[in-house]
Amino acid sequence: MIYDLIGNHSFYERKNILTPNGICVLAGIGGAGWHEDQWSRLIGIFTAPLRSRFTTQKFVRYMTTLNKLDMAVMGELMENGKVKPVIDRTFKLTEVPDAARYLDQGHARGKIVITIE
């Protein structure tokens, strides 16, 4: 299963790494910064469920609303270790400009963490 919060790969890239009956949940629209191909990413997110009709793999969109019950369930999943954040890099507070550049360049493959000493 792929849970994509960033949306920085094409439909075919995701399709190629999924198992034959894998599921890809598309929940993000470009958390790695704005890119020249952002519109094609958005189109890909909205057309992926249609494309999945032609393969054994499933591509679904997920949109959430912030509510108390969902946050409680997410907290429980995190406490039980079933959901873990992917941290790409950690930067010091003095390195925020470097962190912003890294994010804007689209290199991030997880969350960027800023530490305060």
C-beta separation of 62 from 26 below 8 A? yes
More confident residue, 38 or 115: 115
Residue 26 exposure: Cα atoms within 13 Å on the Cβ side: 24
Tell me the pLDDT tens digit for each residue of 52-98: 788 889 888 877 677 899 889 989 998 999 988 889 999 999 999 99
Tell me the pLDDT tens digit for each residue of 41-51: 667 667 777 87
Burial class (CB in 10 A: 0-12, 13-18, 19+), 8: buried
**pTM above threshold 0.95:** no
Q: Give the DSSP H/E element, type plus range, for residue 102.
A: helix 96-104
Q: What is the Cα–Cα distance from 109 to 40, expressed in whole angstroms? A: 19
